[in-house]
Amino acid sequence: MQIGLLGLGKMGAGMAYRLTKGGHQVVGADISAAAREQVEAEGAVAASDVASLVQLLEAPRVVWVMLPAGKLTRDAIAELANHLSEGDLVIDGGNSDFRDAPAHAASLGEKGIDFADVGVSGGQWGRDNGYGLMVGASSEAFARIEPALTSLSADGDYSLVGGLGSGHLVKAIHNGVQYAILQAYAEGYALLSAHPEVDALAALEAWQGGSSVRSWLLSQIIAALQANPTLEGVTSQVSDSGMGRWTAEEAIRLAVPTPALTLALHQRFASRDDGLANKLLAATRNQVGGQKA
């Protein structure tokens, strides 16, 4: 299929690569000349702005927006509405607030333009490994974009998870769950590091070797520690993208208890103060130094 891709950052460029490799005709747009040159070198057609992107696409058009969540995405979708026509389709693939979807669908729908939201997981590794895709759309829109989903996904790992807004809701809760998993690993690592006779990194490697807590996240933690055993240059502060907050807000709205997810978010808030996180870093460095000695 032919597809427009608005936003060629790390995620967008990786998606353009997979789509082109999958045999699709990609028209990518970005304000960065370097980003445009990269996707052109990999077989895509590049455009510098929304108007030229739309002109290069044949009706009925599909445009996938892959921009930072918030004002940039909202403005881009509003601008697309001014250039697209009835029968076209806009996909929001960024980490947008799922509560924005109804307004986008309504404003685009006034002009006969369809809308879908897709939660995209996989980060910078998605280019080579494929992405996990959570689609919120009508069944008709889903069928229309499924050829692209097949090329983007990791081994067919894409799903129609519900109607409009569902894709971003599922991605938000995914990130909330990820916070809790990472918090659990961090606490386990802290406890391991508190024992001078235990090689904490070796313990994590053993966990990853077939145990019930092995995971892709743990593999990334192990790789980071192998490259930087003393965590030199790593601060105690852990940011949050906003998705964990949206997850907590939705849990409150629905009166669904999510203590682990919510506490993990609060631990990220706490990490921005000097305290236990700095003590953990110090303990880790002392342990590694002691082992070397």
Q: What is the pLDDT of residues 181-216, one digit of tens each?
A: 999 999 999 999 999 999 999 999 999 998 999 999
| Domains with residue ranges and CATH for the chain | 2-162 (3.40.50.720), 170-292 (1.10.1040.10)
In this predicted structure, the answer to whether residue 11 has a pLDDT above a threshold of 60 is yes
pLDDT at 137 over 80: yes
The per-residue pLDDT for 284 is: 63
Q: What are the pLDDT digits (tens) for 258-293? A: 999 999 999 999 888 765 556 666 666 666 665 544
Predicted pLDDT at 292 = 46
Task: Determine the pLDDT at residue 247.
Answer: 96
Instruction: Round to whole Å and give the CA distance between 6 and 12.
Output: 8
What's the confidence (pLDDT) of residue 230?
87
DSSP secondary structure code for residue 117 in this structure: E
- In the β-sheet with 153-162, what is the strand arrangement from edge to edge? 45-47, 25-29, 2-6, 62-65, 89-92, 114-121, 131-136, 153-162
The strand pair at 62-65 and 2-6 is best described as parallel
pLDDT tens-digit readout, 26-59: 999 999 999 999 999 999 999 999 999 999 999 9
Least confident of 97-106, 232-241, 258-267, 279-288: 279-288
Give the residue among 147, 159, 155 at the shortest CA–CA distance from 120.
159
Q: How confident is the model at residue 8 (pLDDT cuts 50, 70, 90)?
A: very high
Length of the chain: 293
Average pLDDT over residues 132-147: 97
**Could you identify the residue written with the tokens 């969540």?**
69
The rounded mean pLDDT for the chain is 92
For the cut 90, the answer to whether the pLDDT of residue 157 exceeds it is no
CB 168 within 8 A of CB 136: yes
Q: Residue 25's pLDDT band (boundaries 50, 70, 90)? A: very high
Alpha-carbon span 223 to 278, nearest angstrom: 21
What is the rounded end-to-end Cα distance, in angstroms, of the chain? 60
- 142, 160 in Cβ contact below 8 A? yes
Helix (H), strand (E) at residue 116: strand 114-121
Phi and psi for 4 in degrees, rounded to 5?
A: -95, 140
| Local structure of 124: helix, strand or coil | helix
Tokens of 198: 């235990």
Pairing of strands 89-92, 114-121: parallel
Query: CA gyration radius for the chain?
Result: 22
DSSP secondary structure code for residue 230 in this structure: T
Omega of the bond leading into 60 within 30 degrees of 0 (cis): yes
- Quick one: average pLDDT of 154-176? 94
The mean-pLDDT minimum among 110-114, 124-128, 132-136, 138-142 falls in 124-128
pTM: 0.88
64: helix, coil or strand? strand
Query: Taking 50 as the threshold, does the pLDDT of residue 147 lie above it?
Result: yes
pLDDT of residue 154: 86
- Identify which has the larger pLDDT, 249 or 124: 249
- For residue 155, what pLDDT is reported? 85
Cα 37 → chain centroid: 24
H helices then E strands: how many in the chain?
13, 8
Q: What is the DSSP letter of 156?
A: E
Q: Measured between alpha carbons, how far is 110 from 93 in angstroms, rounded to an integer? A: 21
Q: For residue 156, how many other CB atoms are within 10 A of its CB?
A: 10
State the amino acid at position 268 in one-letter form: R
